[in-house]
């Protein structure tokens, strides 16, 4: 999971394995800690809404997960105390080899 702070909120990019984990109902967490503090983000497929508390931001995906799983969709935007954009980031290693093989 890649996380970037933007002027509008937080941008999260997930790969295909992380999307599969969300589909299985598993929460994804990224955390960084330092002496006296830290920060964490949780993507939770079992919850709804965006909740910020201290240095933790939780983004519930339950209602938006079907849209995120749709291959035609690049991602979803969650509104809350901070906007969270969750985007699929599937690199070339995820392409079907048959689609890229020369004829």
The 10s digit of each residue's pLDDT in 39-95 is: 999 999 999 999 999 999 999 999 999 999 999 999 999 999 999 999 999 876 555
For residue 97, pLDDT over 60 is answered with no
Longest dimension (CA), the chain: 59
What pLDDT is attached to residue 95?
53
Which long-range CB contacts under 8 A does 54-59 form with residues at least 24 apart?
A: 57/10, 57/82, 57/84, 59/12, 59/84, 59/86
For residue 96, pLDDT over 80 is answered with no
What pLDDT is attached to residue 26?
98
What pLDDT is attached to residue 77?
97
Out of 10-19, 26-35, 42-51, 89-98, least confident range: 89-98
Q: Which of 28, 8, 31 lies closest to 18, judged by CA?
A: 28
**67 with 76: CB under 8 angstroms?**
yes
The tally of CA atoms less than 13 A away on the side-chain side of residue 92 is 2
**54 with 74: CB under 8 angstroms?**
no
What gap in Å lies between CA 69 and CA 24, rounded to an integer?
A: 11
């Amino acid at each position: 999971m890649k996380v970037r702070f933007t002027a509008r909120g937080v941008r999260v990019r997930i790969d295909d394995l992380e999307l599969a984990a969300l589909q299985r109902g598993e929460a994804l967490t990224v955390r960084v800690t330092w002496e006296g503090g830290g920060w964490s983000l949780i993507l939770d497929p079992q919850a709804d809404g965006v909740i910020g508390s201290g240095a933790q931001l939780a983004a519930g995906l339950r209602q938006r997960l079907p849209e995120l799983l749709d291959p035609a969709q690049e991602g979803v935007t969650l509104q809350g105390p901070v906007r969270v954009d969750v985007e699929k980031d599937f690199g070339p290693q995820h392409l079907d080899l048959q689609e890229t093989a020369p004829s």
